[in-house]
């Protein structure tokens, strides 16, 4: 089940999507105004514990990504070692 932040984020993305119809954008604006204080909701994860397996997977991906700096790879390795 999506969090409020995810639902609001989807509506915000719809407002910026050039392929969305004006009717769809109007609906998203109404939902944000009525249910989410204009879209002012906490970001996903602000009040939630992060899944340690997902964090570890992200750190491992960082370490193996050729587009990531050596400094970032070292930081990811240290964080993974600390888990």
Do 56 and 29 share a domain, yes or no?
A: no
From the number of C-beta atoms within 10 Å of its C-beta (0-12, 13-18, 19+), residue 56 rates as: middle
Instruction: Pick 45 or 30 by higher pLDDT.
Output: 30
Domain count, the chain: 2
Quick one: CA dihedral 68, 71, 76, 80, positive or negative?
A: positive
Tell if the pTM clears 0.75, that is, is over it.
Answer: no
Per-residue model confidence (pLDDT) at position 43: 61
Per-residue model confidence (pLDDT) at position 52: 86
- Per the structure block, which two tokens stand in for 78? 């240290």
Inside any domain, residue 45: no
Q: In terms of residue numbers, what domain contains 73?
A: 52-82
Express each pLDDT in 63-76 by its tens digit.
999 999 999 999 99
Do 58 and 33 share a domain, yes or no?
A: no
Per-residue model confidence (pLDDT) at position 13: 94
Q: Would you call 2 helix, strand, or coil by DSSP?
A: coil
DSSP class of residue 64? H
Do 8 and 35 share a domain, yes or no?
A: yes
Do 35 and 8 share a domain, yes or no?
A: yes
Q: pLDDT at residue 10 above 90?
A: yes
Instruction: Pick 41 or 33 by higher pLDDT.
Output: 33
């Amino acid at each position: 089940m999506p969090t409020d932040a995810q639902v609001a984020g989807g509506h915000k993305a719809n407002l910026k999507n050039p392929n969305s119809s004006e009717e769809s954008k109007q609906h998203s604006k109404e939902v944000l105004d009525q249910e989410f204080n204009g879209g002012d909701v906490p970001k996903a994860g602000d009040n939630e514990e992060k899944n340690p397996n997902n964090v570890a997977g992200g750190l491992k991906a960082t370490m193996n990504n050729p587009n990531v700096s050596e400094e970032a790879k070292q930081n990811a390795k240290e964080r993974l070692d600390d888990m």
